[in-house]
């Protein structure tokens, strides 16, 4: 029988539980799984030797603050930090890169500190280290978990060769709002796909044995709900229900724990008035308690100190007490722990048992990485020189790039282009750009090192094809870098005439437009997600002259491109594809690779639709009742539907779905249901289709989404070939976080949908008894 209670009381209890962390003289802490008793014995022996100050030092992380291979800093705060480093009062550093520099900073600790506990060196390795792969959102469009594990494995191999031990990735924040700049860093809007991607990337970074010198400890971030910032504005308030937290936000983090992720990172935001860094519910009760996580939690940059600005702590001393009592183990750059925790222990506002637990967690990772056996094991300059940007890694980047491309439109089969075409005009602000394709969060990639689209096309065409290039318009003007806002060109049309002349001469136009890579990423939210500057005007001018326009979009977020969708002959969504971007795009443009990517996030018709997502609720008035009435949930100026839905993506061939059948009309909680259908390639070329399975729980103790992804499969077929595709559903697949505040499958009616995207589906139904 369905539970009839509402979520109101449960939500109130959740908010109370998440509030100020408890401080008690009796501390009950979870014990690590007894799978490595010798290591745990070593940790306890070392812990007994440590002073309180040395323990707190292990929980203190600084960013690189001087040229490590140069002279020691003199005077001021830098000298103070340097002395702390020498004295073993720094447990980790970030942004020290390169085998030589990491060896030197490790040497300072190992030759001067009393206990000689190795440093843990971290860095943001997000979609590559030196070799850049597609931005994470773009790579998620491949729906290829093996690919994502492989690219993370390569990124770890390069970074580890440069002395890095730990990456601050993968990001697994579910986000439904394209205005948010960091949507480029995750896997999109869906918790099922996001969970699988999170696990794949964790496995890729960490490999099967963290002690090997080509692995990185991974970090599940940002815990939790960072992707739900109000209005899509980075660092903004988050206020979501317990239902959304558990059913949408948390599943990728739980998948990361199950995959063995080594560390977690706090989110900057608050949830329901409680900053995530100060939430004992998220950290002690759920993560370390219910989920049994035995790694450690690191704050995001300054997030402990930022609780003062949230109005949750009076000063850094109180922020340190709140964060430690809540379960945040390592302080990244707030200097709150190193300056205030010792006094907090002495005045008994923080139990020393909490400090000991945090130190154990940090030491455990250092042992697992093999740093106590050889603190310099990752610092090998010969290996660094040999591995970075190796041909095999660049080949993998090209393969990842083409698998991440999504064909959004192909009117009249304009694509693929013939390599012996007479004249191609390559136009647009991003056509010859060798830097934006590297994307935001590009680690140690060399500025301007990507293969541009123009270069990729020039390398692909035959000797008799003329490639005409014209920029048309500049996108960003002035300085472009990670730390500064960019300025978009709003007035200079001086290149229009050259672009129009090129379009007039050409048999086909390839128009590269979208976003500069520094329009997305941290701190780069936008209130308007249409094409910036003069790009749409350029498109209108070009398409007026030449109707055969293939638009190549390069961007880090979904864009509102309703005009392009209506007027362009073809549109390729190519994201920011990394080091081999131009070659990967050319492979698809000329048919050497048949695109199979599917959108991991919905594309809105305009910015006003954001946030928009496929797994929404039906609401009480979700369907047009007829009679020209206005009293239903809709806009008066645009359809409710997205421009391109989640899971959408075309191919150079076509596929038909038929003969959908279920193995039973009723099942029990112990049964498994088989879903079968026939997929046929009805086109003229071989192609790969990502077959998608969705369900709907028709009636629940809490309202349920209209659809939820529960499976997908890549199927490659020759022209005319058919294949039966099957999926298996169990009670676990039907479960959700119910009004009873637990994960369970509730009896009742379910619908099953199978299709090419979240909107174009075949439907069947069954009942769970």
CB half-sphere exposure, 380, CA atoms < 13 A: 17
Q: Say if residues 671 and 745 touch (Cβ distance below 8 Å).
A: no
DSSP 181: G
Burial of 222 by CB count in 10 Å (0-12 exposed, 13-18 middle, 19+ buried)? buried
Concatenating the DSSP letter of every residue in 717-753 gives E-TT-EEEEEEEE-HHHH-EE-TTSSEEPPPEEEEEE
Angstrom distance (rounded) from CA 335 to CA 316? 8
Which of these, 737, 735, 690, lies nearest to 716 by C-alpha position? 690
Find where tokens 């139904």 sit.
765
Which of these, 184, 162, 166, 167, lies nearest to 175 by C-alpha position? 184
Q: How many residues does the chain have?
A: 769
Please list the residues that pair with 725 across neighbouring strands: 677
Which of these, 571, 712, 568, lies nearest to 647 by C-alpha position? 712
Angstrom distance (rounded) from CA 627 to CA 133? 52
Neighbours of 421 (CB within 10 A): 17
Concatenating the DSSP letter of every residue in 688-704 gives EEEEEEEEEESS-SS--
Q: What are phi and psi of 674, to 5 degrees?
A: -100, 130
Tokens coding 232? 């899509």
Concatenating the DSSP letter of every residue in 245-305 gives IIIIISHHHHHHHHTT--EEEE-SSEETTEEGGG-HIIIIIIIIIIS---SEEE--TTTTT
Q: Say if residues 707 and 616 touch (Cβ distance below 8 Å).
A: no
Q: Say if residues 208 and 153 touch (Cβ distance below 8 Å).
A: no
Say how many Å lie between the first and final Cα of the chain, rounded. Answer: 10
Q: Say if residues 690 and 714 touch (Cβ distance below 8 Å).
A: yes
Concatenating the DSSP letter of every residue in 209-239 gives -TTSTT--B-EEEEETTGGG-GGG-TT--B-
Tokens coding 637? 């100026």
Output b/e per residue, 667-691; b: 16+ Cβ within 10 A: beeeeebebebebbbebeeebbbbb
Which of these, 226, 232, 275, 218, lies nearest to 248 by C-alpha position? 226
Positions marked active-site:
300
């Amino acid at each position: 029988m369905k539970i009839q209670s509402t979520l109101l009381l449960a939500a109130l209890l959740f908010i109370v539980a998440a509030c100020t962390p408890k401080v008690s003289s009796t501390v009950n802490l979870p014990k690590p799984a007894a799978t490595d008793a010798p290591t745990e014995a070593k940790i306890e022996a070392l812990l007994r030797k440590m002073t309180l100050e040395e323990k707190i030092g292990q929980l203190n992380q600084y960013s690189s603050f001087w040229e490590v291979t140069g002279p020691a800093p003199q005077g001021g705060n830098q000298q103070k930090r340097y002395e702390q480093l020498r004295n073993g009062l720094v447990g980790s550093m970030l942004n020290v890169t390169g085998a030589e520099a990491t060896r030197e900073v490790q040497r300072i600790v190992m030759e001067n500190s009393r206990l000689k506990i190795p440093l843990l060196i971290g860095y943001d390795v997000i979609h590559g280290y030196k070799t850049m792969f597609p931005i994470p959102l773009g790579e998620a469009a491949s729906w290829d978990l093996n690919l994502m594990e492989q690219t993370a494995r390569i990124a770890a191999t390069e970074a580890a060769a440069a002395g890095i031990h730990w990456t601050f990735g993968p990001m697994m924040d579910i986000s439904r709002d394209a205005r948010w700049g960091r949507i480029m860093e995750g896997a999109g809007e869906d918790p099922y796909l996001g969970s699988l991607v999170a696990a794949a990337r964790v496995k890729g970074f960490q490999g099967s044995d963290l002690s090997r010198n080509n692995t990185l400890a991974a970090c599940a971030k940002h815990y939790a709900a960072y992707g739900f910032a109000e209005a899509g504005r980075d660092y903004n308030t988050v206020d979501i229900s317990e239902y959304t937290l558990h059913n949408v936000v948390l599943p990728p983090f739980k998948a990361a724990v199950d995959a063995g992720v080594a560390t977690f990172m706090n989110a900057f935001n608050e949830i329901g008035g409680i900053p995530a860094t100060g939430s004992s519910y998220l950290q002690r009760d759920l993560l370390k308690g219910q989920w049994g996580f035995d790694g450690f939690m690191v704050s995001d940059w300054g997030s402990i100190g930022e609780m003062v600005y949230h109005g949750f702590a009076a000063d850094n001393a109180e922020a340190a007490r709140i964060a430690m009592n809540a379960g945040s183990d390592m302080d990244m750059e707030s200097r709150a722990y190193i300056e205030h925790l010792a006094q907090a222990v002495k005045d008994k506002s923080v139990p020393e048992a909490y400090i000991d637990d945090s130190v154990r967690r940090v030491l455990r990772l250092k042992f697992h990485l093999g740093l106590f056996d050889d603190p310099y094991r990752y610092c090998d300059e010969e290996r660094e020189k040999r591995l970075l940007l190796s041909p095999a890694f660049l080949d993998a980047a090209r393969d990842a790039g083409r698998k991440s491309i999504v064909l959004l439109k192909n009117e009249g089969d304009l694509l693929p282009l013939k390599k012996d075409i007479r004249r191609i005009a390559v136009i647009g602000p991003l056509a010859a750009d060798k830097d934006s394709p590297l994307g935001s969060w590009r680690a140690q990639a060399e500025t301007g090192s990507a293969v541009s689209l123009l270069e990729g096309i020039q390398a692909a065409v035959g000797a008799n094809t003329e490639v005409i290039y014209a920029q048309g318009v500049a996108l960003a003007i002035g300085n472009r870098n990670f730390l500064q806002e960019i300025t978009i060109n709003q007035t200079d049309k001086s290149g229009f005439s050259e672009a129009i002349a090129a379009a007039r001469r050409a048999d086909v136009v390839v128009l590269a437009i979208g976003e500069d890579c520094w329009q997305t990423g941290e701190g780069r939210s936008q209130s308007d997600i249409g094409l910036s500057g003069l790009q749409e005007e350029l498109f209108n001018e070009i398409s007026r002259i030449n109707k055969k326009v293939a638009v190549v979009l390069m961007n880090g977020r979904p864009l509102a491109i309703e005009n392009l969708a209506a007027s362009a002959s073809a549109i390729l969504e190519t994201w920011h594809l990394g080091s081999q971007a131009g070659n990967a795009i050319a492979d698809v443009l000329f048919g050497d690779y048949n695109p199979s990517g599917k959108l991991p996030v919905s594309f809105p018709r305009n910015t006003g639709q954001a946030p928009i997502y496929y797994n929404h609720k039906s609401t009480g008035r979700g369907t047009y009742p007829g009679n020209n009435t206005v009293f239903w949930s809709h806009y008066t100026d645009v359809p409710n539907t997205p421009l391109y839905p989640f899971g959408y993506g075309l191919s150079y061939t076509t596929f038909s779905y038929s003969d959908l059948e279920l193995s039973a009309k009723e099942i029990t909680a112990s049964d498994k249901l088989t879903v079968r259908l026939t997929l046929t390639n009805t086109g003229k070329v071989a192609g790969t289709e990502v077959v998608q399975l969705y369900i709907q729980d028709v009636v629940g103790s809490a309202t349920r989404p209209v659809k939820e992804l529960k499976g997908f499969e890549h199927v490659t077929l020759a022209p005319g070939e058919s294949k039966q595709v099957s999926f298996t559903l169990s009670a676990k697949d039907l479960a959700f976080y119910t009004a009873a505040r637990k994960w369970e499958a509730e009896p009742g009616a379910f619908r099953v949908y199978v299709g090419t995207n979240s909107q174009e589906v075949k439907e069947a139904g069954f009942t769970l008894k």
